[in-house]
Homo-oligomer: A and B are copies of this chain.
Amino acid sequence: MQSAKMRQTSLLAGYSTAGKAMRAIARPAVSRRAAVVVRAEGEASGPGLEAQGPNMTALKDVQEIMDILPHRYPFLLVDRVLEWEYGKYAVGYKCVTVNDNFFPGHFPQRAIMPGVLQVEALAQLGGIVMIDPSEAAQQNNFFFGGVEGCRWRKPVVPGDVLMMRCDVTKFNKRFGICKMAAKAYVGKDLVCEAELTLVMGK
């Protein structure tokens, strides 16, 4: 039972030293090369479908994302980072649920994730790419400067996992201007792509 307790997260975590220890334990172990776990389909003798769901190991979980980004509810749109190389690229995702706060208005008769929020999610992931962990104390800033070549190709709906990748394509260090190729997928399907311009503060 003690071990169950250890895996369970304290309600008061974050308020005490004990809480922090438990929080560390509660976080899934981190491996540099995160991966979607392989699943065998229709394995008759194996576990049921319910125990074959995705299990995407976090390189950065949502608590770490909140240490990096100032965004908060209802405008934090990245749940987990799976791959990340500073100044190069990142892979991350957002779970899309009918309980997302925007669905009652978009639309009452049919839940579709607004395209502009997919772009926002991509830009938030892009911001995470550009945060230099060695300069965390200096709090490098960034803002969203522009978008080119944005296309939405399929509707994103509750139950989708919006997988995203941002690759830095150009970085003018002097002016702090960064271009990124950004793509979002549901399964194998490309649902949104855009070239983003972020401007980094000093």
B83 contacts A49, CB within 8 Å? yes
From B62, B158, B194, contact of A158 by CB (8 A): B62
CB-defined A-B contacts under 8 Å, sample of 13: A4-B145, A10-B141, A11-B127, A12-B139, A13-B109, A13-B141, A26-B155, A53-B186, A63-B110, A63-B111, A75-B106, A95-B96, A95-B160
From B99, B102, B145, B176, contact of A100 by CB (8 A): B99
Could you say which residues of chain B place their CB within 8 Å of the CB of A116? 116-117, 119-120, 123, 144
From B33, B99, B147, B154, contact of A101 by CB (8 A): B99
In the complex the two chains form, what is the Cα distance from A96 to B100 in whole Å?
A: 9
From B10, B69, B106, contact of A201 by CB (8 A): B10
Given contacts A36-B53, A73-B104, 10 further A-B contacts (CB under 8 A): A14-B107, A22-B201, A49-B165, A62-B98, A62-B159, A63-B111, A74-B74, A116-B117, A146-B152, A150-B150
Interface centre among A4, A50, A157 (most CB of B within 10 A): A50
Could you say which residues of chain B place their CB within 8 Å of the CB of A132? none
Quick one: closest B residue to A183, CB to CB? Answer: B50
Interface centre among A10, A33, A55, A177 (most CB of B within 10 A): A10
Instruction: State how many angstroms separate the Cβ of A68 from the closest Cβ of chain B.
Output: 9
Q: Which A residues lie at the B interface, using CB under 8 A?
A: 1-2, 4-5, 7-19, 22-23, 26, 33-42, 47-56, 58, 61-63, 65, 69-77, 79-80, 82-83, 91, 93-112, 114-117, 119-120, 123, 127, 138-155, 157-161, 163-165, 175-177, 183, 185-190, 194, 199, 201-202
Nearest 8 A/B pairs, CB to CB: A55-B187, A16-B139, A14-B109, A75-B105, A95-B95, A10-B141, A80-B159, A53-B163
Quick one: closest B residue to A176, CB to CB? Answer: B5
Instruction: State how many angstroms separate the Cβ of A201 from the closest Cβ of chain B.
Output: 5
